[in-house]
Amino acid sequence: MSDLEKQLQLGRLPPRPPGPAGGSGQALPKMRMGPGRKRDYSAVPWSQYFESMEDVVVESDSGKDTFRIYKSGSEGPVLLLLHGGGHSALSWAVFTSAIISRVQCRIVALDLRGHGETKVRNPEDLSAETMSKDVGSVVEVMYGDLAPPIMLIGHSMGGAIAVHTAASNLVPSLLGLCMIDVVEGTAMDALNSMQNFLRSRPKTFKSLENAIEWSVKSGQIRNLESARVSMVGQVKQCEGAASPGGPKTIVEGIIEEEEEEEEDENGESMNKRKKDDDTETKKDVAYTWRIELAKTETYWDGWFRGLSNLFLNCSVPKLLLLAGVDRLDKDLTIGQMQGKFQMQVLPQCGHAVHEDAPDKVAEAVATFLIRHRFTEPIGGFQCVFPAC
């Protein structure tokens, strides 16, 4: 089993309307490290946040597809979590720990096709229709005719797929629906600039640690704890490649402060010697993105066009979590005024809201579940938002 298991969420860069990968279409700024103690950018295993991992095999007349899922919890409704474009189920790791400690629920975080550790026959087909059918098929294989109450929660692209899945009635036991930082109007506006945004990212990284470091310093993921577990699902080892050194590697995105030179008793630079030792002993393997999002452009329009009305017309209770109120388009603004869904704005977050502020998102989801009497609080959790 591969040790790498997570995907991409493009960070918030003003005005950063969410596109297919959540970016704003603007080039990522170079980041400069300030002085201070060195931060730990090493990867963290999924097992620190989820209780189990398994592969769900979906069979058809034409063959088999295998979907990777991560699970936690044993009682209560199932929260089926769908990640954004380029990310993986591991983007929900820290959120999972937060929500499980607040309410009775079961977590199923799914690697969508073409992402993470899921293996399908046609990973290039990322149409909304195909991916929503995948979600329905995974639920059917897992639970058969005895599916428990399920709430679909999706971020960015995953939010769109959650809505398409609900609108097509592919999860008959659907209890509720939650979209995180995805709105049709702003998403459609962002599509024209998405290719420029994707081109601005490094194509390769010298190591997994470099990829994690870049994700935090570039603002893609503002929470280091989440980045250390989730970036594993966004990148993979380059086949047969040594450390890259081209202009589009990690070194372009980050400018390190020069360390003060220290000399040993022989007058040799200790920093230089350490770097030389690292070069000799740590032959890092290059890493690259698991999925080339630029090649998925043909599906972007289908993910988001008509999304607002599909969301509003879903009959189950609905929750919309946004990083900024500026995201609302006309249809959702009217629907919100009419009380057709509950909305919570979580400021000071990037587009990866559930990674940047997992506790706040967990509180919002827990409050929603308790408000609708879908579950019970645990651990003394009390609703914190006015809507409760």
SS3 240: coil
Q: How far apart are the first and last CA of the chain?
A: 43
Confirm whether 351 is a catalytic residue: yes
Q: Which of 156, 200, 215, 218 is catalytic?
A: 156
Q: Which of 87, 155, 164, 351 is catalytic?
A: 351
Instruction: Give the whole-angstrom CA distance, residue 121 versus residue 279.
Output: 39
Sign of CA dihedral 122, 127, 130, 132: positive
Tokens of 126: 């990322």
Half-sphere exposure of 33 (CA within 13 A, CB side): 16
Residue 15: is the preceding peptide bond cis (ω within 30°)?
Answer: yes
**Strand-pair partners of 379:** none
Tokens of 114: 């073409």
Sign of CA dihedral 150, 153, 158, 159: positive
Instruction: Give the whole-angstrom CA distance, residue 361 versus residue 261.
Output: 44
Q: Which of 111, 181, 218, 243 is catalytic?
A: 181
Burial class (CB in 10 A: 0-12, 13-18, 19+), 211: buried
Enzyme catalytic residues: 156, 181, 351
